[in-house]
Structure 1
Amino acid sequence: MSESGVPHWPGAADPANSADEAWLTAIAQAAAGDSQAPLELLVEYLTLLADAAISGRRPGEHELAIVRELGRRAAEQGIPAGRVVDLYLSAAWRMWRDLPDVVPYRDRDTVRASAQAVLRAVGEAIAVLVDSYQVATQQLIRQEEALRRELVDDLLRGDPDVSRMVERAEPFGLDLGRPHQVALAAPADGLTDGDTAAGMLERFILDRFGDREVLVATKEGLLVVLIPATAPSAAPRTVTKGVGELIHDALVRHRAGRAWRVSTGRAYPGSYGIARSYEEAREALTLAERLQFDTPVVDARDMLVYRVLVRDQAAIVDLIQAVLVPLTQARGGAEPLLKTLEAYFATGEVATEAARRLNVSVRTVTYRLTKIKQLTGHDPGDPAQRFALHIAVLGARLLEWPAHDLATGAAAHS
């Protein structure tokens, strides 16, 4: 009788013997078949169980180290944790079921002691297995996130090594030969570490469009969504229409009360097309913020005219100086009159609606419009003069005038 209370008879079953190896192999094959898990994941495990049943010996550190390595290997192979645990439990009960045929237990006490030893060995082995599996899974997730971030960074930057980009994109299911578009989402309160919005959004896009070629990542405080513009089937499916609205709605539902602004670039083929779509989406987001748009979703197509204004800043500065600078002579400065013009143009030149938006009386709006005409010589009600005023107001917002000096603002935004 061993110290643990489990008998160890001379000449009893020894897992090193060929007959016992065949017995353990048969158990392993049956357990692997039932659990649909690789047979090699049971290496050393059944031996330590048999030793525990026969001698009461607890698993050694070197044996548990092997089990720990098997847990890591199972995680790397992508085998579900439940399946691996099921494999170990299935092997354990099969071995215990067959044990009386191998070891001639004499009485109830020896059976009880053997059972305790086996259960303890099973518990220690599975604890080590699961812990190792979880650690390996976390490492794999971090590695995949790092690879994803690097891939997204290089795609958005337009890495010139196209063949290498195609190879790196393949594990993520991206076919860079197809047209893709980029959408950006900016939360009003900023993104923090561990934010769950990215994972939710990726699942939503996959469920909504049923397409594997979706990549969601974070970059510089933004959610970046890379999505194909057509389905992989022969019949193309355009997804550009409404993508921004769908993304915005999903984000708002994910956490009620959180404000988001979403911008979408146009779809282009190839890796360079992804970088181009990203630049469009980023510029649309920036312009919407500078123009103080109240709409939560902006499309690069709708921002083309504003991009023209930004890229010819010398001309827009001249226009502001010629048309709007006289507004600084008004009591209270130019800002109230600029806001009145913005509201007036945004509401289709309807003074009553502009007054409601500004939370002032209609009389105040009409007075300000008259003042604008007097100071600038441009009548907001005249179609020809209204156009110049509208473009000048947009340019002023882009250059953040009058809060910033025109020369300084032009240099800062060039």
Structure 2
Amino acid sequence: MSDRAAPADGWLADACAGLLAGPGGTVRARAAAVLGARAADAGVQLRELVAAVMTATAGHWTSSRPAAGEPPGGVHARAATLLAAAQEALAAAVDGYNHRARAELDRHDSARAEFVTDLLTGRADPGDLAERAHRYGIRLSAAHTVLVARAPGLSLEATHRVDAALAARFGEGNTLTTLRGDDLVCISAGGLRGIAGELARLLLAETGTAGWQLAVGRTHRGLRGLATSLDEARSTLDHAAKLGFTAPVLNAADLLVFPVLLRDREAITDLVTTVLGPLTTARGGAQPYLDTLTAFFDSQGNHTATARQMHLSVRAVTYRLDRIRDLTGYHPGEPTQRFTLQAAVLGARLLSWPP
């Protein structure tokens, strides 16, 4: 919106006075709606528009003094007519204001989402992109971090509140938040401390649940770095979903091993089938043993904690681990063999193995 106009005098005061003096009904409602839209375009605050209508109402009543000998009933009737006209004008003016404000917000959301898409894909003309970036306080040559959150059901209104809260916390131009598809994407200035924790707090406040997950890409410089940071954050969420990681906040820097594992898909497939393939011959298939290994590694090799997590007895866990050793030749309790087994288990989850 443009710079705000003075609401108490000038065109707004005259227009509000004209609404009450002119014809009523549909004519007044249409004129009031146009006035409300004009006020929104001029940057007038809604409360100022309401105040202007009420001021005009008071002025209209003051200027229409009762005639000599007018009975009290006549005064009351004129007052009721004026209040009804003011209510009619005010309701239509607020509707017009809100309609124009929503249209402006939708246009702003569309432009912002389009800019973020162009920014993160690099499809737009660099000169045009730099000009648009300047409007949002983004310097394309600087370092930035991209955060991506998946929060089911997060609305545009909630995204607006998150964006405003981050701007208030870290300053205008240091963050830019929008919905991109089903993901909330936040671009932050590189090195901005506390951004992940603050965004997580806001997501929790908006959703009221822990049914969301946030990934933080690494900080990179330049236009290509923005796309890289976005890819890292989104890949981190994808890997977390496959691996069953439930931590609400994940850092791409902590999960760099998974892109490395998947970079050579043939090699990781060979590792999985070579090390874990024999488990498919066990009664019940490989899955129960993979689940046991996952729980065992998550529990830092503690048999009791593994049994508790799997709702099994310690004896049953020990039996399964021994059976894994017999079938594969690798024992998860042996330090020199643990890494190979754990890498193979992670690879199996990334590959959704066994099919």
- TM (norm. structure 2) is 0.85
Q: Does the CA contact (< 8 Å) of 2:118 and 2:124 recur in 1? A: no
Residue 59 (structure 2) pairs with residue 94 (structure 1)? yes
Give the counterpart of 2:11 among 29, 40, 52: 40
Where does residue 153 of structure 2 map in the other structure?
191
> Structure 2: any 5+ residue segments left out of the alignment?
none
8 Å Cα contact 1:175/1:213 also seen in 2: no
After superposition, the CA RMSD in angstroms is 3.0
Alignment: residue pair count: 350
Q: Is the 8 A contact 1:191 1:222 kept in 2?
A: no
Q: Find the residue that maps to 1:223 and give its secondary structure.
A: strand
Instruction: Find out whether 1:282 has 2:244 as its counterpart.
Output: no
Trace 1:2-401 onto structure 2 (pairs within 5 A): 36-37=7-8, 39-47=10-18, 49=20, 52=21, 58-59=23-24, 65-98=30-63, 105-108=67-70, 112=75, 118-187=82-151, 190-191=152-153, 194=155, 197-230=158-191, 238-239=192-193, 243-401=195-353
Following the alignment from structure 1 to structure 2, what is the Cα–Cα distance between the partners of residues 161 and 195?
A: 28
Describe the SS at the equivalent of 1:324: helix
Distance 1:246 1:152 in 2: 21
When residues 37 and 159 of structure 1 are mapped into structure 2, their CA distance, relative to the original with a 3 A threshold, is farther
C-alpha separation in 2, matches of 1:175 and 1:291: 36
C-alpha contact 1:265 1:280 (8 A) present in aligned 2: yes
Q: Distance in 2 between matches of 1:45 and 1:191?
A: 41
User: What is the rounded CA distance, in whole Å, between the counterparts of 1:45 and 1:391 in structure 2?
Assistant: 73
Question: What's the offset of the Cα at 1:115?
Answer: 5.3
Amino acid at match of 1:302: D
From the superposition, tell whether residues 323 and 208 of structure 1 become closer, same or farther in structure 2 (CA, over 3 Å).
same
Q: TM-score, normalised by structure 1?
A: 0.74
- Relative to structure 1, the CA distance from residue 254 to residue 45 in structure 2 (aligned partners, 3 Å threshold; closer, same or farther) is closer
CA contact (8 A) 1:58 1:121 kept: no
Distance 1:197 1:93 in 2: 39
Shift of 1:209: 3.0
1: CA distance, partners of 2:312 / 2:198: 35
In the superposition, relative to structure 1, how do residues 131 and 158 fare at CA in structure 2: closer, same or farther (>3 Å)?
A: same
Secondary structure at 2:150's aligned position in 1? strand
Contact 2:19 2:31 (8 Å CA) reproduced: no
Check 1:228–1:119 CA distance in 2 against 1; reply closer, same or farther (3 A cut).
same
- 2-structure distance, mates of 1:381, 1:60: 84
Larger Rg: 1
- How much identity, in percent, do the aligned residues show? 36
Q: Cα offset for 1:207?
A: 4.3
Unaligned runs of 5+ in 1: 1-32, 231-237, 405-414
CA shift for structure 1 position 120: 4.8
In 2 relative to 1, CA 246–366 (structure 1 residues): closer, same or farther, beyond 3 Å? farther
Counterpart amino acid of 1:40? W
